Amino acid sequence: MSVASIHWISGPVLRARASGPFALREAVRVGPQALLGEVVRLVADEIVVQVYEDTTGLRAGTEVVGDGLPLAIRLSPALLGNIFDGLLRPLSGTGSAHVAPGMRAAAPAALAFVPRVHAGDFVTGGAVIGEATGATGRVQRCLAPPDAAGTVVRVAGAGTCLDTDPVCVLDTGGGATRELAMSHAWPVRVPRPVRARLPTTTPLVTGQRILDSLFPVAKGGRAAIPGGFGTGKTVLLEALAKGCDADVIVYLGCGERGNELAGVLEEFPQLTDSSNGRPLMERTVIIANTSNMPVAAREASIYSAVTVAEYFRDQGLAVALMADSTSRWAEALREVSGRFGELPGEGGYPAYLSSRLADFYERAARVDTLGAGEGSVTVIGAISPPSGDFSEPVTSHTKRYVRAFWTLDVKRAQARFYPAVHPLQSYAENALEFAPWWAAHGNVAWPRLRRRFLTLLDDEARLERMARIIGRDALPVRQQMTLFCAGLVNDAFLRQSAFSEVDRVCAPARQAAMMRLLDKFIDHADAAVAAGVHPDALRALPSLRPLQRMAEDIGDAEIRRLHDLEAALDREFADLLHAAESAHATDG
Ligand SMILES: Nc1ncnc2c1ncn2[C@@H]1O[C@H](COP(=O)(O)OP(=O)(O)OP(=O)(O)O)[C@@H](O)[C@H]1O
Ligand SMILES: [Mg+2]
């Protein structure tokens, strides 16, 4: 056990003279309270330690004791349904919660174990050794740690025990044995190994129309939500956490105000999963480091969160990680780096900001796990650029690593148009890889419809610029009609309230039906213009109002009402065209 003596302290960073060998990234305990820290730099006989707790009261000469092991977190089936700080220490259920000094990990939890291996079986890393059922009633797979391998000597029978108790003993060769529990420790900063990374093919269904239908993200993909102050990042991330079709949600509240997170902490335990009626917390792990909690733990929280996500992925599950916000994480990185005395780079951030962001986002993937088949981690990170400036370093570097970019627009938010995702400033690379998926989910024409909507919205922006100069009425009738249709797509399709009972989640089938209906409307409108109908005449259509309101009025269970609406529109347009033709004939 190595020991060092503190001679310099600055906030969460301290330097100590070592009288034994320390390793980089080794976990240490500081002072009589055994505060948790990590060796982040070694210089000759001096160690630099980042402390994950309040360092007030520490003094020169205080002892730092090495663990001999890298900083690790304990991964257990008991994580689901609980709330932790950035180093996976349990928080009680309030926003102002704090961790008792020196606390290491959650207390062992009792779980019901059912073995899935027998004596004599050869077990390799990541293999499923049994099943565990915790307080939530959800059955999970117990995994052998990725670095374990050996022949099963003994395995516990079905029964309840603590997640730290040995349930399986392996003969690892040479007379050595290794005990496995339902949980295992894993170093926070090391990605968990996989058999292979797989190409992404399936979208993460978010239930948000503008995302699923226009800018989809893959299961195993990466997305960013940049947005200025109050543009709806938190509400959108929460909507995704509640409504997306992942098996497990890891929600990381990183450096946000305590009261903002208190909302999540209060609300989540009361919500039910609309797909199965079970409490939403059963599939959720919340990791919280609010702005008033130690800054170094915030820096670590992003790695803890992604490690937890990988752990559930390794059980063969689809996991979605929501991080709110990566800018606050980057600020923690900047603050800690400043204390190290590192030379600041762009925006005061350390030069390794970009590579750290890459390390984080690159852990998102669809994979063939070591022992449980296919699994995925999707990472969605909010970015809060200072004063909404998207050229700042966190936004610009993140852009290089994500494939879906959902920009929240201040103007839309001010107009209370939610979600305020800007259709022209957002993108999803390779979105068309999901065409087969959409075809199998009721939208064969999806690539064409998507392109039509995006083109229309692009035309709208251009025509609006022109209309501001010459006036809307001076635009040719065809262009006025384009504006009319684009307005309809915005109001009837892109707008979606996160607080609406009917519309907060929109199933793919309903998205497809709505897209088809609007496509039909645009066709009709085109024909009407060709027949000399003025856009103003469309405002009088009895079905226009129901069409504008369809998202709020017609839920996932009533999609056939959209067909009725379509039939009504067909009739009304036929009448309109008929009247136009008669008027034309009379004129002639
Ligand atoms: N999808 C939505 N549906 C309905 N209302 C919304 C939606 N998104 C945002 N809002 C409204 O906007 C307000 C601000 O949203 P939110 O707190 O998510 O913004 P933010 O970008 O996280 O802000 P901050 O920069 O302070 O973190 C919400 O309180 C809510 O009233
Ligand atoms: Mg927020």
The whole-angstrom separation of Cα 462 and Cα 424 is 11
The answer to whether residue 353 scores a pLDDT higher than 70 is yes
| Total domains in the fold of the chain | 4
- Within a 10 A sphere around the Cβ of 88, how many other Cβ atoms? 25
Q: Is residue 456 over pLDDT 90?
A: yes
User: Sorting pLDDT into bands at 50, 70 and 90, what band is 256?
Assistant: confident
Ligand 1 atom with minimal separation from the 384 CA = 25
256 and 333 fall within a common domain: yes
Closest atom of ligand 1 to 236 CA is 1
Helical spans, DSSP H, in 223-341: 233-243, 258-267, 295-313, 326-340
Q: Are residues 466 and 367 in the same domain?
A: no
CA-CA distance, 327 to 360, in Å (whole number)?
13
Residue 94 above 50 pLDDT? no
Distance 232 CA to ligand 2 centre (A): 7
Which numbered atom of ligand 1 lies nearest the CA of 230?
Answer: 23
Say yes or no: 209 and 352 in one domain: yes
| Single residue among 187, 219, 234 that ends a domain in this structure | 187
Judge if 404 and 260 occupy the same domain. Answer: yes
* CA 261 to ligand 2 centroid distance, Å: 9
How far apart are alpha carbons 60 and 322 in whole angstroms? 40
- 260-274, 399-413, 447-461, 552-566: range with lowest mean pLDDT: 260-274
431-442 pLDDT tens trace: 999 999 999 999
- Residue 67 scores a pLDDT above 70: yes
Please state at what angle helix 295-313 crosses helix 326-340, rounded to 10 degrees: 130
Q: Measured from the CA of 419, which atom of ligand 1 is nearest? A: 1
Neighbours of 453 (CB within 10 A): 24
What separation in Å is there between the alpha carbon of 246 and the centre of ligand 1? 23
Please check whether residues 206 and 176 belong to one and the same domain. no
Residue nearest ligand 1's atom 12 by CA? 232
Same domain, 230 and 355: yes
Please give the span between the terminal C-alpha atoms of the chain, in angstroms, as a whole number: 101
Same domain membership, residue 520 and residue 484:
yes
Q: How far out from the chain centre does Cα 526 lie?
A: 40
* Position 90 in a domain: no
- The whole-number pLDDT of residue 92 equals 63
- Using a 10 angstrom Cβ sphere, with 0-12 exposed, 13-18 middle and 19 or more buried, the burial of residue 575 is exposed
Question: 3-class DSSP state for residue 5?
Answer: strand
For a ligand 1 pocket test, name from 235, 252, 406 the mutation site with the most ligand atoms within 8 angstroms of its C-beta.
Answer: 235
Residue 329: what pLDDT? 94
Q: Does residue 232 contact residue 516 with C-beta atoms inside 8 Å?
A: no
Q: How confident is the model at residue 504 (pLDDT cuts 50, 70, 90)?
A: very high
Nearest to 484 by CA among 507, 464, 469, 506: 464
364 & 224 share domain: yes
438 falls within a domain: no
Residue 93: its pLDDT value, please? 47
CA of 263 to the centre of ligand 2 (A): 11
Q: From ligand 1's centre to the CA of 237, what distance in Å?
A: 10
Residue 315 lies in a domain: yes
| pLDDT at residue 268 is higher than 90 | no
The residue whose CA is least distant from atom 15 of ligand 1 is: 232
- Say which DSSP state 272 is in: B
Say whether both 417 and 454 belong to one domain: no
In this prediction, residue 118 carries a pLDDT of 97
CATH of the domain at 382: 3.40.50.300
Task: Say if residue 204 is in the same domain as residue 347.
Answer: yes
Nearest ligand 1 atom to alpha carbon 235? 18
Which ligand gives the minimal distance to the CA of 232? 1
Task: Kindly state whether residue 18 falls inside one of the protein's structural domains.
Answer: yes
pLDDT computed for residue 273 by the predictor:
79
* Domain presence at residue 86: no
CATH at 125: 2.40.50.100
Contact 171, 180 (CB under 8 A): no
Mutate which of 206, 234, 259, 324 for ligand 1? The one with the most ligand atoms within 8 Å of its CB, which is 234
Ligand showing the shortest atom-to-Cα distance for residue 498: 1
- CA–centroid distance, residue 235 to ligand 1 (Å): 5
Mean pLDDT of 222-240: 95
563 token code pair: 């067909």
Q: How many angstroms separate the alpha carbon of residue 255 from the centre of ligand 2?
A: 10
Pair 402, 481 in one domain: no
Tell me which ligand sits closest to the C-alpha of residue 237. Answer: 1
Please tell me the residue having the least CA distance from ligand 1 atom 26: 230
Residues with CB under 6 A from ligand 1: 227, 229-236, 384, 418-419, 497-499
256 Cα nearest atom in ligand 1: 27
CB 547 within 8 A of CB 565: yes
Instruction: Quote the pLDDT of residue 191.
Output: 96
485 C-alpha to center of ligand 2: Å?
A: 32
Closest CA to 552 of 410, 450, 418, 451: 418
Q: Is there a domain that residue 78 lies in?
A: no
Q: How confident is the model at residue 95 (pLDDT cuts 50, 70, 90)?
A: very low
Query: Mean pLDDT over all residues of the chain?
Result: 93
Place of tokens 């994950």: 52
Q: Indicate which CATH number applies to the domain containing 498.
A: 1.10.1140.10
Q: What percent of the chain has pLDDT over 90?
A: 81
Cα 64 vs. chain centroid, distance in angstroms? 37
- Domain holding 155, by residue range, is 107-187
Q: What is the DSSP string of 504-555?
A: SS--HHHHHHHHHHHHHHHHHHHHHHHTT--HHHHTT-TTHHHHHTHHHHS-
Interhelix angle 508-530/446-470, rounded to 10 degrees, is 50
C-alpha closest to that of 428 among 459, 401, 400, 404:
404
Residue range 396-409: mean pLDDT, rounded: 97
In angstroms, what is the span from residue 361 Cα to ligand 1's centroid? 24
The CATH number assigned to the domain holding 52 equals 2.40.30.20
Confidence band for 585, pLDDT divided at 50, 70 and 90: confident
Same domain, 364 and 253: yes
